[in-house]
């Protein structure tokens, strides 16, 4: 049997958010795979993504990213140490920076950053918006710009929370095509969504 390379491995993970308890959740995401996390409103899809990203604590169970176990509590890896691209439901673009400046801040001194920003922006139909600030973008443009910032460094685990909510059909198709391409390059995607895109695997989270 061929060895399965896992981008994410959750085993009996329990997450708390206020009085809500999510889990235990067990799932595996292979490298290059796109997995939709489904379930009713309030089931904990967003909370689980936040816990994987390191923004909520995992109370019990085990969490591994790219084969590395992530401890819970004070000993856990900080969010910026987990190699994760994040896109939440609430728009998270920094209001004081242009879209290009935000991509450069995330990309650092990565070689060929200029060409990557240009290529990805063109694919997302926001090439002419790179010098604009978030307040100057439509809702759909801002959402695609946030995806651009999240994926500017390739080969990462991408956590996306309802990433298509502000998109028309063209915008959604552009974003999906980009995610498909990134997964061929070694990225993996876990997305919270009410709808499962065609050809995606899915995992349901039920309300407790």
Domain ranges of the chain: 6-204
Residue 18 scores a pLDDT above 90: no
CB-side neighbour CA atoms (13 Å) of 154:
18
Q: Please check the confidence at residue 74 and state whether its pLDDT lies above 50.
A: no
Note whether 130 and 117 are within 8 A (CB). Answer: yes
The tokens of 202 are what? 């899915």
pTM: 0.89
What are the pLDDT digits (tens) for 129-161? 999 999 999 999 999 999 999 998 766 899 999
Q: How confident is the model at residue 2 (pLDDT cuts 50, 70, 90)?
A: low
Average pLDDT of the residues in 161-186:
93
pLDDT of residue 191: 94
Q: How far apart, in whole angstroms, are the C-alpha atoms of residue 100 and residue 158?
A: 20
The confidence band for 78, taking pLDDT boundaries of 50, 70 and 90, is: low
> pLDDT category, 1, cuts 50, 70, 90?
very low
pLDDT of residue 200: 83
The CATH code belonging to domain 6-204 is 3.40.50.300
Does 73 have pLDDT greater than 70? no
How would you list the strands of the sheet with 157-161, edge to edge? 84-87, 157-161, 188-192, 34-38, 201-204
Residues contacting 200, CB < 8 A, separation 6+: 34, 35, 36, 191
pLDDT of residue 70: 78
């Amino acid at each position: 049997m061929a060895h399965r390379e896992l981008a994410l491995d959750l085993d009996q993970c329990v997450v708390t958010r206020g009085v809500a308890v999510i889990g235990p959740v067990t799932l595996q995401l292979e490298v290059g795979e796109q997995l939709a996390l489904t379930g009713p409103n309030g089931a904990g899809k967003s909370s689980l993504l936040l816990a994987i990203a390191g923004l909520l604590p995992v109370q019990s169970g085990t969490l591994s990213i790219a084969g590395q176990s992530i401890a819970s509590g004070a000993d856990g890896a900080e969010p910026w140490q987990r190699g994760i691209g994040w896109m939440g439901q609430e728009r998270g673009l920094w209001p004081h920076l242009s879209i290009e400046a935000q991509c450069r801040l995330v990309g650092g001194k990565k070689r060929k950053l200029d060409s990557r920003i240009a290529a990805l922006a063109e694919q997302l139909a926001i090439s002419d918006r790179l010098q604009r600030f978030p307040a100057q973008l439509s809702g759909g443009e801002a959402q695609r710009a946030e995806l651009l910032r999240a994926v500017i460094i390739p080969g990462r685990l991408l956590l996306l929370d309802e990433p298509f909510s502000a998109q028309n059909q063209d915008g959604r198709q552009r974003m999906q095509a980009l995610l498909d391409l990134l997964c061929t390059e070694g990225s993996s995607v876990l997305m919270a969504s009410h709808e499962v895109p065609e050809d995606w695997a899915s995992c349901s989270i039920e309300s407790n």
